[in-house]
Structure 1
Amino acid sequence: MTSAPAATPALSVRPRVPADLDDCVDALALVHAHSGYPVNWPAEPAAWLTPPALLAAWVAERDGRIVGHAALCRGEDGDPAAQLWAARGGGVPAVCVNRLFVAPEARGLGGGAALMERAVAQARSRGLHPVLDVVAADPAAAFYARLGWQHLGIVDQRWGPGQVVSLRCFAAPEPAVRTG
């Protein structure tokens, strides 16, 4: 007789509050050690998670612990995904989904997709089209493709002296048109 698999505690997604930042940094440190994201560890990780262009941010929780994060930020000069979207003449201004990560122990539980869904919904409620970029070699590019995000192109960007990084840029799928 085989036993039933143990129940996996559900993830929940909610808006990030200032008191969450220390726990977000702890989760980000685990992701950095496991997966190398972000490529360059920020001198002030809490500030990195709260850039000046921030519009909204969310956390994913499991068992009362923060295990994921996503942010929505205004596209700024030099943001390659926003530039590629604008060059296509999409008509709707772009907004960037970034600072997205899920702790290694919570991967595969739907947290990344739930965070993306929340960010996309918020972008659309603001009349904006979500875009993002990811290091070209990062396996997360396959995740965005599975979610139906459209590949806009690859851009090389200088991140520091002697550091040129290739980025894959994506745009969220167009919203479904409702009929009838």
Structure 2
Amino acid sequence: MADLEERADVVASGSRGTGAGVGVRRRRAADLADCVRALGDVHSTDGYPAEWPDRPAAWLTPDGLLAAWVAEVDGRVAGHVGLLRSGPGELAPELWSRRTEGRPELTAVIGRLYVAPAARGREAGARLLAGAVAHARALGLQPVLDVLATDTAALALYRRLGWTALGSGEQRWASGRTVVVHCFAAPRE
């Protein structure tokens, strides 16, 4: 398992271009307070998550979490991503399954991805995604994700990085709110 962690960190790190000073590593329990602080900054600026969780640290550690990473900029936690086991009825795994005739349980869902406003423009989001994708593939799983149709910055990132659009649909949240999401699969290796 250490090899998987090291491989994901190596894929996601670098030191050239706009990504200088950005590192990605596995999230540790001690990082959660900093992750919540950065998430609060993102929520204030962008409204993500669309519904602020009652327990933000628990929201970052949902059931089915396979692994999580943080981006550090200048030694501070500035971003986060999680990789989750896909569950029954999730839209992105279902759409991937219909398109490829693969079983939905062969997917892993990328979620809880955000980068603090002060750290943007330095490829932190792309590096977080690369780490999660590398780990999913090392586990033999196809990375998929969904994003709110209104999150134009995230949509632009996924398209710029070559993610394949799988389709769109509605999600009904526990709060009773219904939202439209677009689903994507990671680019082929």
TM-score computed with the length of structure 2 as normaliser: 0.85
1:8–1:114 Cα change, 3 Å: closer
Q: Distance in 1 between matches of 2:80 and 2:93?
A: 21
Matched, 1:89 2:119: no
- Structure 1 or 2: more helix by fraction: 2
1:114 paired residue number: 127
Unmatched 5+ residue regions in structure 2?
1-17
1:142 paired residue number: 156
User: Which structure 2 residues correspond to residues 46-125 of structure 1 after superposition, within 5 A?
Assistant: 46-91=57-102, 93-125=106-138
Q: After the TM superposition, which parts of structure 1 deviate over 2 Å for at least 4 consecutive aligned residues?
A: 89-92
2:186 paired residue among 162, 166, 172: 172
Does 1 or 2 have the higher relative contact order (CA < 8 Å, sep 6+)?
2
Q: Distance in 1 between matches of 2:83 and 2:49?
A: 17
Equivalent residues of 1:15, 1:57 under 8 A apart:
yes
1:115–1:165 Cα change, 3 Å: same
Report the Cα offset of residue 11 of structure 1.
0.8
* Per-residue deviation, residues 114-158 of structure 1 (Å, max 9, x unmatched): 000000000100000000000011011111010000000111111
Q: Distance in 1 between matches of 2:124 and 2:146?
A: 19
Q: CA RMSD in A?
A: 1.6
* Per-residue deviation, residues 71-119 of structure 1 (Å, max 9, x unmatched): 0000012321111111223537111000000000101101000000000
Q: Distance in 1 between matches of 2:89 and 2:38?
A: 28
Q: Distance in 1 between matches of 2:140 and 2:130?
A: 15
2:22 paired residue number: 11
Q: Distance in 2 between matches of 1:135 and 1:60?
A: 22
Q: Distance in 2 between matches of 1:90 and 1:15?
A: 32
Which structure: larger Rg?
1
* Per-residue deviation, residues 37-86 of structure 1 (Å, max 9, x unmatched): 00000010000000011000000011221000000000012321111111
Identity of aligned residues (%): 53
